[in-house]
Amino acid sequence: MKEIILIKNGELALKGLNRRTFEDMLVKNMRRRLESVGKFKFTVAQSTIVAEPENDGVDLDEAVERIGKVFGIAGFSRAAAVEKDMDVILRSAEEYLAPQLLTVRSFKVEAKRSDKKFPLTSPEICRETGGYLLRKFPHLEVDVHNPDIVVTVEIRDSNAYIHGKQIKGAGGMPTGSAGRAALLISGGIDSPVAGYMMAKRGLELIAVHFASPPYTSERAEQKVHSLLKQVSKYSGRIALFVIPFTKTQELIKDNCPEEIFTVIMRRMMMRVAQKVAAKEHAGALITGESVGQVASQTMQAIACTDAVCEMPVFRPLIGMDKDEVVAISRKIETFDISILPYEDCCTVFTPKHPRTRPTIEYVEECEKALEVDKLVEEAAENARFVLISGY
């Protein structure tokens, strides 16, 4: 019996616009994600995508695990693909679904018949399958309102598909369908979650990380790689740009008032990130900021940061509590990496008494001590490229 994966489109099924393009993107994303699992053939029909392994011995458990992280999918199931013959369907349903049916008490059967030439109607398929399974699994009863499991029989062009429980998909929109944005990633808890959230809305991610050796170590950068690897299981592979930031930070430290270090540093980060983003055809920046979390994330400090941004800055965590962010980071399995000890360039130069309500005029005045354009140009030019993929 051949086993396949039946995938139901998510939100994109609701979008009248360019449905075809969205589906193509989704298939492309899945194909890439499954590349190292095996060769799959994808067929799209009626907001369902069939992923069929082309060789024997493909690890379908691993494929299911990966499909579960692809955005743009509402739900999916493993299914048996069998001949369109009622006897074969019944025997296959019994054999294929036995492990699931033996652990539940009630069920119902749903039938979908897109091949209208099939001799039985949908209600007839339901009745026959239901009756047959009741005879084979006498402990079961039919419950049409609240069944433990729904057995679905789909009669499509090439095959009949039989499946039991549906697995919830990752939701969202296919990565890339909303364009490309640059994630400013530190080694903390917030920024990986912010990247995950925006990728879920269909943005392809590139990432920018500022490193200040020798204040920050090789290990700190490796941590960022690990975090991005985990995010990339959802977002697809990520082009990371590591920016040398030591010189900029030292110059800020030597030439600007301590109370304003962080805001100036963040403005410098935004400027450099924007340069890298533009070069890589990204249209927005993404940060893990949340109002009030730290001194650099007051409304006034954010206003100072935003003042140097021409691109929109997406801050998906802006109104979230830390525990809400932590819950997501646990779900996407970045939390345990994020809490490993590390130095971030932000923490290395944290002022003792940061100004929480800086004004743009004051910050601009302080920045006059720096050759801003030159520093930004230099940092962006010396970006080091690393391609990150979780699989």
For the purposes of burial, counting CB atoms within 10 Å of the CB of 68, is it exposed (0-12), middle (13-18) or buried (19 or more)?
middle
Q: For residues 3 and 306, which CB has a smaller minimum distance to ligand ATP in the complex?
A: 306
Cα–Cα distance measured from residue 26 to residue 385, given in angstroms and rounded to the nearest whole number: 26
Q: Could you tell me the two tokens for 116?
A: 């209208």
* Minimum CB distance to ligand ATP, residue 248 (Å): 12
For ligand ATP, the binding residue among 177, 191, 235, 329 (CB under 6 A) is 191
For ligand ATP, the binding residue among 151, 328, 345, 375 (CB under 6 A) is 345
Contacting ligand ATP within 201-240 (CB under 6 A): 208-210
Is the separation of the CB atoms in 243 and 215 below 8 Å? Answer: no
Binding characters for ligand ATP, 143-172, by CB under 6 A (x = yes): ------------------------------
* Minimum CB distance to ligand ATP, residue 245 (Å): 7
Sign of CA dihedral 73, 75, 78, 80: negative
Select the binding partner of residue 128 from Mg ion, ligand ATP, none (C-beta < 5 to 8 A, by kind): none
* Minimum CB distance to ligand ATP, residue 151 (Å): 45
Q: Which residue has the tokens 């206003």?
A: 303
* Minimum CB distance to Mg ion, residue 290 (Å): 11
Q: Which residue is nearest to ligand ATP (CB)?
A: 188
* Minimum CB distance to ligand ATP, residue 238 (Å): 13
Amino acid occupying residue 368: K
For ligand ATP, the binding residue among 63, 125, 178, 189 (CB under 6 A) is 189
Q: For residues 221 and 344, which CB has a smaller minimum distance to Mg ion in the complex?
A: 344
* Minimum CB distance to ligand ATP, residue 284 (Å): 13
Cα–Cα distance measured from residue 219 to residue 141, given in angstroms and rounded to the nearest whole number: 58
Cα–Cα distance measured from residue 272 to residue 244, given in angstroms and rounded to the nearest whole number: 11
Q: For residues 159 and 296, which CB has a smaller minimum distance to ligand ATP in the complex?
A: 296
Q: How many helices (H) and strands (E) does the chain have?
A: 14, 15
If one asks whether residue 311 binds ligand ATP (CB under 6 A), the answer comes out as no
Q: In a 3-state reduction of DSSP, which class is residue 119?
A: coil
For ligand ATP, the binding residue among 13, 64, 150, 294 (CB under 6 A) is 294
| List of residues contacting Mg ion (CB under 5 A) | 186, 188, 344
Q: Which residues of 152-184 are buried (b: 16+ CB within 10 A; e: fewer)?
A: bbbbbeebbbbbbebeebbebbbbbbbebbbbb
Q: For residues 184 and 238, which CB has a smaller minimum distance to ligand ATP in the complex?
A: 184
Is the separation of the CB atoms in 143 and 110 below 8 Å? Answer: no
Residues in CB range of 110: below 8 A, 6 or more apart: 126, 150, 151, 152, 153
* Minimum CB distance to Mg ion, residue 190 (Å): 7
DSSP per position, 274-334: HHHHHHTT---EE----TTSSGGGSHHHHHHHHTT-SS-EE-TTTT--HHHHHHHHHHTT-
Applying CB under 6 A, what is the total number of residues that bind ligand ATP?
21
352: left (phi > 0), else alpha (psi -120 to 50), else beta? alpha
If one asks whether residue 296 binds ligand ATP (CB under 6 A), the answer comes out as yes
For ligand ATP, the binding residue among 184, 238, 239, 252 (CB under 6 A) is 184
Select the binding partner of residue 209 from Mg ion, ligand ATP, none (C-beta < 5 to 8 A, by kind): ligand ATP
Is the separation of the CB atoms in 185 and 221 below 8 Å? Answer: no
Q: For residues 164 and 192, which CB has a smaller minimum distance to ligand ATP in the complex?
A: 192
Q: For residues 67 and 256, which CB has a smaller minimum distance to ligand ATP in the complex?
A: 256
Select the binding partner of residue 294 from ligand ATP, Mg ion, none (C-beta < 5 to 8 A, by kind): ligand ATP
If one asks whether residue 346 binds ligand ATP (CB under 6 A), the answer comes out as yes
Residues of this chain that bind ligand ATP (CB under 6 A): 184-186, 188-191, 208-210, 269, 287-289, 293-294, 296-297, 344-346
